[in-house]
């Protein structure tokens, strides 16, 4: 395993517009570890994922982020992706007129920095689709056009399988999935992780249900822009039983009079 953490965040502050959303996040993810990030709406979970990927609307005003020992904040979004940082979107974009096959091939060429022949790519694609139990006609469709919620999320996991990233940010991958679709998507994530044991993972979710399928090494609670509590999977079960009111009562400061 790598001696450097996959991701090391120190005192990260992020603003969107004029509003500060993240107010000093600290987090370390070692290679191969699975971390779950939970918290109520508006706590900053998705803000963290977009800021890490370099979205221009998310301004980092303070702090440091090291990705495998390198300063992530000095890299553009494309360089971050080429270095092995991957974001699975909560709401994947529909791109009419672009075939899934061509999109995935160009994506892989960008990651590797060299041409990938059709023969080479097709062999790798077939291997990954077999791993995820996906049918061949899937890649002949237009990108996310007419896809169900489950198909969109499985396509994200197919991208992850091909790119073999060092660190995956899964931004509410369970959003909009029924029970069967969630199980299929999580089985795919587990299959990719089993093939890439050094791959770190940050699972951003509201609910414990996804963690029934993907067992995290650590669970963190993000509340009002800071990680206020960390633990094992039992922490997620505690939240499921008592709700986020438990966190609000414990960590919200009383109003000043």
Q: In sequence order, what are the residues at sequence separation of 6 or more whose Cβ sits closer than 8 angstroms to the Cβ of residue 19?
A: none
pTM of the predicted model as reported, rounded to 2 decimal places? 0.91
pLDDT recorded at residue 253: 56
CATH class of the domain comprising 32-53+76-251? alpha beta
Q: Which of 247, 251, 204, 226 minimizes the C-alpha distance to 12?
A: 226
pLDDT digits (tens, 9 = 90+) for 164-191: 999 999 999 998 889 998 999 999 999 9
Q: What is the mean pLDDT of the chain?
A: 92
Query: Looking at the predicted structure, is the pLDDT value of residue 14 above 90?
Result: yes
Q: Report how far apart, in Å, the C-alpha atoms of 224 and of each of 3, 5, 80, 219, 242 are.
A: 32, 26, 27, 17, 18
pLDDT digits (tens, 9 = 90+) for 74-122: 999 999 999 999 999 888 989 999 999 999 999 999 999 999 999 999 9
Over range 149-162, report the average pLDDT.
93
pLDDT recorded at residue 214: 95
Q: Which of 102, 100, 60, 61 minimizes the C-alpha distance to 80?
A: 60
pLDDT digits (tens, 9 = 90+) for 190-222: 999 999 999 999 999 988 889 999 999 999 999
Task: Spell out the domain ranges in the chain.
Answer: 32-53+76-251
For the chain, the distance separating the N- and C-terminal CA atoms, rounded to the nearest angstrom, is: 52
Confidence of residue 1 (pLDDT cuts 50, 70, 90): very low
Query: Looking at the predicted structure, is the pLDDT value of residue 257 above 80?
Result: no
């Amino acid at each position: 395993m790598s001696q450097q953490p996959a991701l090391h965040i120190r005192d990260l502050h992020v603003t969107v517009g004029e509003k500060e959303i993240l107010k000093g996040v600290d987090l370390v993810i070692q290679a191969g570890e699975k971390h779950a990030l939970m918290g109520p709406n508006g706590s900053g979970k998705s803000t963290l994922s977009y800021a890490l990927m370099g979205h221009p609307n998310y301004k980092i005003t303070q702090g440091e982020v090291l990705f495998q020992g390198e300063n992530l904040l000095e890299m553009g979004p494309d360089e971050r992706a080429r270095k092995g940082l991957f974001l699975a979107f909560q709401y994947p974009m529909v791109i009419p007129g672009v075939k899934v096959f061509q999109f995935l091939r160009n994506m892989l060429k960008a990651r590797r920095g060299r041409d990938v022949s059709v023969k080479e790519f097709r062999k790798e694609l077939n291997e990954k689709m077999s791993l995820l139990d996906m049918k061949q006609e899937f890649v002949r469709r237009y990108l996310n056009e007419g896809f169900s919620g489950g198909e969109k999320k499985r396509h994200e996991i197919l991208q992850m399988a091909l790119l073999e990233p060092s660190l995956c940010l899964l931004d509410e991958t369970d959003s909009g999935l029924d029970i069967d679709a969630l199980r299929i998507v999580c089985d795919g994530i587990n299959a990719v992780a089993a093939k890439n044991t050094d791959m770190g993972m940050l699972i951003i979710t509201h609910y414990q249900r996804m963690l029934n399928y993907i067992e995290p090494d650590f669970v963190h609670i993000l509340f009002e822009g800071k990680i206020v509590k960390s633990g094992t999977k039992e922490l997620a079960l505690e939240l499921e039983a008592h709700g986020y009111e438990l966190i609000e009562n414990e960590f919200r400061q009383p109003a000043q009079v």
